[in-house]
Structure 1
Amino acid sequence: MLLIVPLFLLISCSKATIQEQIKEGEIPSQTTLKFTHNGQTFHIIPLYEEVLNYTGSARDNASLNTKKMYFEKVLEPFQDKVDEHNADAGSYYFDYFFPTKDVAELEENTAELLQNQKVINGYIKESLIKSSKHIAGGDKTIFMLPSNPEMTVIPDKMEGISGVTFSDDVILLQIDPSFTEKALKYTAAHEYHHTINMEVMGMKRETLLGLTLNEGKADSFAKIVYPDHNPQWTETLPEDSEEAVLAELKKNLNSFDLSVYYEFFGGEPSKGLPQWSNYRIGFSILQSYLDAHPEDSIEEWTKLEAEEILQGSEYKHLLN
């Protein structure tokens, strides 16, 4: 009993003083990585300490664990850093910043990511350099946000990493300590292509077809950079599922309704749509186009409108 009580106190203390461990050097401080390749400048900017500021406050007083506090501790510093780097995050980033009920787990995950940040940054740097060798663009800013533990799909189905591109120069990677090297590098390449696509095609409101083929472009590019990685959302649809997906896609080709998009993204069993239907059919359409046009360079097919890609693939009947 005398041994157990001090041990319990030691464990409790260590979990409660992550900020102190950072100050004492037991956990490294976060560092921004800047590098240039072929005229492109890249910034990898972590939000680990901002998240720890949030978890520290939320853990000490659960009643303060509100969206308002999370915004003050995490979202506003993100906005400040976007401004500092003269970047453009658009206006759709709010949905990716929200508090969690699992404060202790988020804190532990964030501390683990901090300890591993040099390796993480190295993987992303390698991916961005390899990607830029295939097609170059403007400067890029990549933010690293510990994923919310409530988003179980990230560790369960996405190998610990999820990405979103806000503009032609800002990417957000949401990362869980369970990430795999292959998935992280692939995702960075995928999101990099989104920024290039936005550069050449412009920042515009997209139809369901446009959004679907943008994902097809990004996955086709990432597969060129990392051909050995096979994420679930690039798997070929079974024949019966593909028929249902194509039927729904044909009905909604020119729809701007985001609720329709999220049915394709999240799945809608009543319509025969499995999860990631837009990614899976988008990748199949791009692969069909590329099989028919092997002479096209990455730059050439990146510049194509969605209808041009569809017309040049075996799925052109969707336009009839």
Structure 2
Amino acid sequence: MKRLLIFVFLIILIALAGCNNDSDKTGTSRKNDDNSMKEELSTKKDVPSSFSFTYKDQQFEVVYYYKNFLEYIEKAEKQPDKLNGLYIETIINPIADERGVRLSKGWGFGTPTQLEILEKYLQSLIDNQDTIHKLIVDSLKKSADKLQPGADKTIFVLPANPEDKDVMEGVEGVSASAWNENFISVQIAPPFFDENSLKQAVAHEYHHTVFFENNEMGNTLLEAVLIEGKADTFAKIIYPDIQMPWSNFSSAENESQTWKVLKENTSSLMPSIQDDFFLGNASKGIPEWANYKIGNKIMESFIEDYPSISIAEWTDMPANEILKKSNYAEKQ
């Protein structure tokens, strides 16, 4: 989720049909039974590229960024000692130059070195294109039905870096980030892909982009917590039956301790505190993804007390006002 920068991280998915789950292999070595994969991918005529559509007078574009990865793999196999430079030249710079974002500074955009597995990721994404495309477009339309955007939206879909498999498995195979009001990136790790995770991630990041149309990201711990709580709440309104690993606390004690630390640091600008709320800090009793979990709880309390306030209104409502109106502190 910028994870948010967008803590992006993440928002992050379980296995596409027919995908090989052997993600522990490393290096650029090739197996005999995979020798044809490179040729198959490179010569495939129907590799998806981009799709634009208008919905409610709003312009959307979904870019399947697969051909650049095929180019990267081809160059990397010929120049295995220049992977970093080739990746920046082929993958990072074209997006950064076009979209004005610094992907090299974001999580999930390290240089892939496991080329064989990356090829398998790409083949799985291509084979499952119809499903992936339908899920993304449906989620965008459902999101626009609830919260009409102003700015155009572009969604880039990329294979995840195989080296990130442990994290991707933990977040169920999809890592998505909203970089500004116009641009969302979605990375998919096919071995861990779950359709619900993709739907939730698109809705979550869509909300971030609409938030960015009228608001700055904010720098305080409370602002970082509520920006995620708002986006998760929005996604749950659209998909009420989807529960993600970061949606709820595992115990009342976890919630109480997290609230105690948040209450004492609502205005904190310290990156270390914000990292604690994303990564977790056992010594402080803060669980992983606490920013999402406590943000969800505050928003649940707010909506319970103010059900008539519209999504558009609370999207732009300052974090301090949300916390005050929620009466969350009094309920603890």
Bin the TM-score by the shorter chain. 0.7 to 0.9
Q: Which string of whole-angstrom CA distances, capped at 9 and with x for unpartnered residues, describes residues 135-189 of structure 1?
A: 1012101111211112224542222111111001111111111322211111100
Partner of 1:3: none
Please tell me whether residue 181 in structure 1 is matched to residue 195 in structure 2.
Answer: yes
Can you give the 5+ residue segments of structure 1 that lack an aligned partner in the other structure?
A: 1-7, 83-88
Instruction: Specify the SS of the correspondent of 1:41.
Output: strand
- Percent identity of the aligned residues? 34
Q: Which string of whole-angstrom CA distances, capped at 9 and with x for unpartnered residues, describes residues 9-45 of structure 1?
A: 86242134244332xx3xx222201001111100111
Please tell me whether residue 195 in structure 1 is matched to residue 209 in structure 2.
Answer: yes
Can you give the 5+ residue segments of structure 2 that lack an aligned partner in the other structure?
A: 1-29
Please tell me whether residue 94 in structure 1 is matched to residue 135 in structure 2.
Answer: no
Partner of 2:182: 169
Question: CA 1:144 to 1:241, structure 2 compared with 1: closer, same or farther past 3 Å?
Answer: same
Task: Find the partner of 2:120 among 108, 125, 149.
Answer: 108
Partner of 2:18: none
What is the aligned length? 299
Q: Which of structures 1 and 2 has the larger relative contact order (alpha carbons within 8 angstroms, sep 6+)?
A: 2
* Letter aligned with residue 220 of structure 2: T
User: 1:262 Cα deviation (Å)?
Assistant: 1.5
TM-score w.r.t. length of structure 2: 0.84
Cα RMSD for the two superposed structures: 2.1
Partner of 1:85: none
Contact 1:265 1:277 in 2 (8 A): yes
Report the Cα distance in structure 1 between the residues aligned to 2:273 and 2:262, rounded to whole angstroms: 10
* Letter aligned with residue 139 of structure 1: D
Instruction: Specify the SS of the correspondent of 2:163.
Output: coil
Partner of 2:39: 17
Instruction: Specify the SS of the correspondent of 1:232.
Output: coil
Task: Find the partner of 1:51 among 63, 66, 69.
Answer: 69
Contact 1:167 1:203 in 2 (8 A): no
Q: Which string of whole-angstrom CA distances, capped at 9 and with x for unpartnered residues, describes residues 213-232 of structure 1?
A: 01000000000101110001
Partner of 1:288: 301
Report the Cα distance in structure 2 between the residues aligned to 1:61 and 1:298, rounded to whole angstroms: 51
TM-score w.r.t. length of structure 1: 0.87
Map 1:1-320 → 2, pairs under 5 A:
11-22=33-44, 25=45, 28-66=46-84, 68-82=85-99, 89-91=100-102, 94-96=105-107, 97-137=109-149, 138-177=151-190, 178-200=192-214, 202-316=215-329
Report the Cα distance in structure 2 between the residues aligned to 1:270 and 1:112, rounded to whole angstroms: 41
Bigger Rg, which one: 1
Report the Cα distance in structure 1 between the residues aligned to 2:144 and 2:104, rounded to whole angstroms: 25
